[in-house]
Amino acid sequence: MSDPQALSRANRRFHRQIHLASHNRFLVQQLDLVHRSMALLASTSLSAEGRSKGTLDEHEAIVRAIEAGDEDAADAALREHISRAFMTRLRLDAAKVQAAE
């Protein structure tokens, strides 16, 4: 998927489905708030070269772990996914600062 906006929408739908699968209304509401605040992170990190494929691979790892019922693997995959998105955002921000100097 080469369209960052389409990938961002798919990303939101993916995360929403994970939230809904918890069957915990309070958790879903809280995660929706968190996800809205992280939308900027996702939209900017997804624009980085190679990040869209990385995101899809990370989502697949999360789904595989959930389907296998492996909580530890799901937790690790989710943490890796968030970490990579965050690090990508930091690199993009650093590049913008350097370009402005």
Q: What is the pLDDT of residues 69-88, one digit of tens each?
A: 999 999 999 999 989 988 88
Tokens of 56: 């899809």
Q: How far apart are the first and last CA of the chain?
A: 33
Q: How far is CA 94 from the centre of its chain?
A: 20
Residue identified by tokens 């402005």 is: 100
Report the SS3 class of residue 100: helix
Q: Would you state the pLDDT for residue 91?
A: 87
Does this model's pTM top 0.75? My answer is no
Task: Specify the number of domains making up the chain.
Answer: 1
